[in-house]
Amino acid sequence: MSPDLPLRGLADDLSTRSDDALADLLIARPDLASPPPRGTGVLAARALSAASISLAGENLDLLSVAVLETFLDAAAEIGERKELLGPIGRDEVVARLGKRALRADVDARLDALVAAGLLWGTGPLKRGRHTHWLGGAHLPTALPWRANHLLGPMASLTPDEIRARVDGAGDRPRELLATLAQGPALGRSRDAAPDADPSAPVPTLISLGLLARVDEQTVELPPQVGQILRDQPPLLTASLRPPALTDPDVPGRFDADTVDAAGAGEALELLRHAGDLIEALGAAPAALLRSGGLGIRELRRLAKTTALSVPRVGLLVELLARQRLLDGGVPDLSDLDYTADDVFAPTTAVDAWAHHPTEQRWLGMARAWLQLPRRPWQIGGTDRDGNTLAALSSELYDATAAASRRAVLSPLLDAEPAHPVSVDALVAALGWRHPRQLRRMTRHTVAETLREATELGLVAHGSLTTAGRALLAAPVDDEAPTDVLAAMEAALPELIDYFLVQADLTVMVPGPLQPDTADRLRLLADLESGGAASMYRVTEDSVRRALDTGRSSTEIGAFLAEHSHTPVPQSLTYLIEDVARRHGRLRVGVAASFIRCDDTATLTEVLQSEAAADLSLRALAPTVAVSVAPFREVVDRLREAGFAPAGEDSSGALIDLRSRGVRVPTRTHGAGPTPRRSGIGPGQAHAVVSRMRTADRAAGPVSATASGAAGETVSALIQLALRTGRRLRIGYVDAQGSASRHVLHARSLAAGQLVADEDGGVEGLHFPLHRITRVEVL
């Protein structure tokens, strides 16, 4: 250690850094750039504040924390200074860490801490680098804990050795440890003082190293002990190298194509289930809670209707609502006899979304999940008061949810493709990368996040798919990354245009159908089981549904014969012809309402049925009757009575009787609030640096060429700057009496005003001459 080295401040260090280095600092600590600091002095003051240093500590890995602990431990031996800590040399940091870390890794962390403005160099340079560093008084706030746990007695022990010490403690000390493990790690006790009774539980645990003394009344549970007591993967500190995600000696069990195919299969299932949920809500919208969420009772109803699990329905509701495909509102009931106030139903955007390409619809779902400010896997759980958590509820809102989701998946980018990563290995890696999030990144949280990522097709067989890797690496602002869409399109199975019609009136589809063929088949048959190979069943009702759209029995038969790789069974042909023969003999019009039938006997039978009395039917001619009931009610009531009416418009053409379901208006302000960006780009950072440099120049010492008088001398200097193209530095007092200094490029001087562009700032500024207090030509 060399305490005689110059103790320069961070402001002096920042003023000597290059523009690129300052831009890197702002990118690493974006809070320093908002609002843009007026000069490097203001930037240094912000960077040394406790709040900013604590925020910077969120991005420190375990080795960086160990380096800071070592720096602070060595600085404490020098003596306490009010503003600065240090200087501490590199050799001392390396010596205190010993063989637990490589020197190259320590040097890299020191450089990163300097780049982030947490440390800065002092003294002479050696090979272009400082050999000693200083820190600010609030530097300890960057640590995830209060005591130096990475230098304490637990630091060099293995998990088994720590567990043995815990088991060797008495019952009362173990109860105390369990309390601290489940609650805050800090505890207050009078027995924390060095002169306390050594037989008491707290001094006993301190002597065993299972508690660390912060001060005479405060103790802290070491994170290594807390992880073991919570039955979480232990934080390994005997070696400060990052834990391995996969075993290099064990080859991956899958190849990349298998992983991508599995992810594509999950993506197809997700989209199919999304369609089922949209259809279910269109037929029977859900009631919204007063808080705006979707209650667990409605989720269970939807789960029963769609044959899905409640967690699956909750996830789909969150994803579709994020894209404004589902929303609350007053429904459009133009073609439905349905009365309600605000309901949760599909929006009008659903009909266009259903015709988008598969990979585009998947991308929307995946991006919605990455941006969700809630964790869908918590739906159905309970809060601290025992209340059930509803979907879309404000109780689930967490501003850190999106960032945590990306943090969980980020280590998988560093793993070998197609090599599965276990949950425990991922938790251990996250603990090393984000020690401040040690209690949040639990095994349960990580496992549930991976489960959702698997259901989205981002992860398969414990590793990222190619599309998942591309999406995580894509810029957040890119709404349609072509490489992501291409990766998912390549992974999706090839679309087919055929199926197998079987004798039991079922249709087996051995893969994903082309959209047009799938739409026509869904119209003719009901889905019985989905998946990579789906099964449909043709029934009398499904054939009538196809006939209602204006298709004839001949067209239906031709469609089956064209796309079936097996002969169409005679039983199916008979069913289609029988339904078609009875279908449409009775016609219902839209003129509230009329019934037309060329067969007088059939119409007579209708007029003699119970439905005639319910609908108030009245015969106008042997082949025509009218009703005061609405069109939809007439059709439904006649079908209940055993007849097979078809609908026709005013020209006599058949109309599609299918209802698209309830729809609510699509909101025009986008798909929900976009999470606030936590960083800034290089362009923004360099713009802020440029303004800081201008402010530094404006705050520089006044030269002899400056004029403190208004009038001719001020005007003459401005005219000189206009003729020579040189910059001006002016002192200015605005209408509120606030004084400021500016470095300008003069553009014109007229009507008592200087028009100029601020150096690196706003263009076209106007400065009245009578408010200019000083002018200097630079």
- Does the pLDDT at position 590 exceed 70? no
Give the model's confidence band at 418: pLDDT under 50 very low, under 70 low, under 90 confident, else very high.
Answer: confident
DSSP 699-765: TSPP-TT-B---SHHHHHHHHHHHHH---EEEEEE-TT--EEEEEEEEEEEETTEEEEEETTS-SSE
Q: How many residues does the chain have?
A: 778
Tokens found for residue 374 = 């809630």
Over range 90-116, report the average pLDDT: 93
Task: Break the chain down into helix, strand, coil percent, rounded to 5.
Answer: 45, 15, 40
Query: What is the pLDDT, as a whole number, of residue 659?
Result: 60
At residue 334 the predicted structure's pLDDT band, cuts being 50, 70 and 90, is very low
pTM: 0.79
Tell me, yes or no, whether 598 and 721 share the same domain: no
- Do 132 and 171 lie in one domain? The reply is no
Clarify whether residues 404 and 293 are in a common domain: yes
Same domain, 16 and 127: yes
Residue 162, pLDDT > 60, answer: yes
Q: What is the DSSP letter of 599?
A: -
Q: What is the reported pLDDT for 472?
A: 94
- Asked if 269 and 417 sit in the same domain, the reply is yes
The pLDDT > 90 percentage for the chain reads 48
Q: Write down the pLDDT at residue 706.
A: 55
Which has more confidence, 631 or 272? 272
Give the pLDDT band (50/70/90) at residue 79: low
Q: What is the DSSP string of 216-285?
A: TTEEE--HHHHHHHTTS-----SS-SPPPSS-TTS--SS-HHHHHHHHHHHHHHHHHHHHHHHHHHHHSP
Stronger pLDDT, 598 or 181, i.e. the higher one: 181
State pLDDT tens for residues 209-221. 999 999 989 999 9
Are the C-beta atoms of 335 and 659 separated by less than 8 Å? yes
Close Cβ partners of 569 (under 8 Å, ≥ 6 residues apart): 501, 502, 503, 505
Average pLDDT value for the chain: 86
Average pLDDT (123-130) is: 80
Q: Does the residue 561 lie in any domain?
A: no
The CATH number of the domain holding residue 720 is 2.30.30
Report the SS3 class of residue 552: coil
Please, which residues have CB within 8 angstroms of residue 460's CB and are 6 or more apart in sequence?
259, 260, 262, 263, 266, 454
- Answer whether residue 239 is part of any domain: no
For residue 450, pLDDT over 60 is answered with: yes
State whether 418 and 380 are in the same domain: yes
Rounded to an integer, the average pLDDT of 450-477 is 93
Per-residue pLDDT averaged across 359-384, rounded? Answer: 93
Classify residue 247 by burial, with Cβ atoms within 10 Å: 0-12, 13-18, 19+: exposed
With cut-offs at 50, 70 and 90, classify the pLDDT of residue 592.
Answer: low
> Which two three-digit tokens encode residue 677?
């960006």
pLDDT category at 354 given cuts 50, 70, 90 is confident
Q: Give the residue from 214, 229, 244 where a domain finishes.
A: 229
Region 380-395: mean pLDDT is 87
Kindly tell me the burial class for residue 200, based on how many C-beta atoms sit within 10 Å of its own C-beta (0-12, 13-18, 19 or more). Answer: middle
Domain final residue pick, 441, 475, 491: 491
Q: What is the pLDDT of residue 81?
A: 62
Look up the domain containing 727 and give its range.
Answer: 700-777
676, part of any domain: no
61 plus 118 within the same structural domain: yes
pLDDT, tens only, 523-553: 899 888 877 688 999 999 899 888 888 788 8
pLDDT the model gives residue 664: 78
Q: State residue 116's pLDDT score.
A: 95
Q: Does 509 reside within a domain?
A: no
Q: Which residues neighbour 97 within 8 Å (Cβ) at sequence distance 6 or greater?
A: 66, 67, 70, 106, 240
CATH of the domain at 187: 1.10.10
> What is the arithmetic mean of pLDDT over 68-77?
92
Task: Give the C-alpha distances (Å, rounded to integers) separating 263 from 267, 277, 408.
Answer: 6, 21, 18
Q: Where does the pLDDT of residue 45 fall: very low under 50, low under 70, confident under 90, or very high at 90 and above?
A: very high
* Pair (437, 478) in one structural domain: yes
Q: Is residue 524 part of a domain?
A: no
Mean pLDDT along residues 552-567: 90
Q: Pick from 439, 467, 491: which residue ends a domain?
A: 491
Crossing angle of helices 423-433 and 443-456, in 10° steps, is 110
Report d(CA 666, CA 669) in Å as an integer: 9
Q: Are 605 and 725 part of one and the same domain? A: no
- What residues contact residue 426 under an 8 Å CB cut-off, 6+ apart? 245, 408, 411, 412, 446, 450
- Total structural domains within the chain: 5
Q: What is the rounded distance in angstroms from the CA atom of residue 173 to the CA atom of residue 169?
A: 6
Whether residues 100 and 167 share a domain: the answer is no
Model confidence band, residue 765 (pLDDT cutoffs 50, 70, 90): confident
Asked if residue 1 belongs to a domain, the reply is no
- Per residue in 671-708, pLDDT (tens digit) is 444 444 557 888 888 888 888 887 777 676 655 455 65
- Looking at the structure, tell me whether residues 316 and 360 fall in a common domain: yes
Q: Has residue 505 been placed in a domain?
A: no
Q: For tokens 């390396």, what's the residue?
A: 94
Task: Quote the tokens at residue 451.
Answer: 């489960």
User: What percentage of the chain exceeds 70 in pLDDT?
Assistant: 91
pLDDT at 251 over 90: no
Convert 684-723 to b/e letters by CB count within 10 Å (16 or more is b).
bbbbbbbbbbbbbbbeeeeeeebbeeeeeebbebbeebbe
Residues 412 and 474 in one domain: yes
Mean pLDDT, residues 61-66? 96
Residues 234-261, mean pLDDT to the nearest whole number: 82
Residue 201 near residue 170 (C-beta atoms within 8 A)? yes
pLDDT score at 335: 44
CA–CA gap between residue 145 and residue 153 (Å, rounded): 15
* Res 459 pLDDT > 90: yes
Residue of 411, 434, 433 lying closest to 423 (CA atoms): 411
pLDDT on residue 701:
63
In a domain, 281, yes or no: yes
Q: In this predicted model, what pLDDT tens digit does every residue of 712-736 receive, in sequence order?
A: 578 888 888 888 888 888 888 888 8
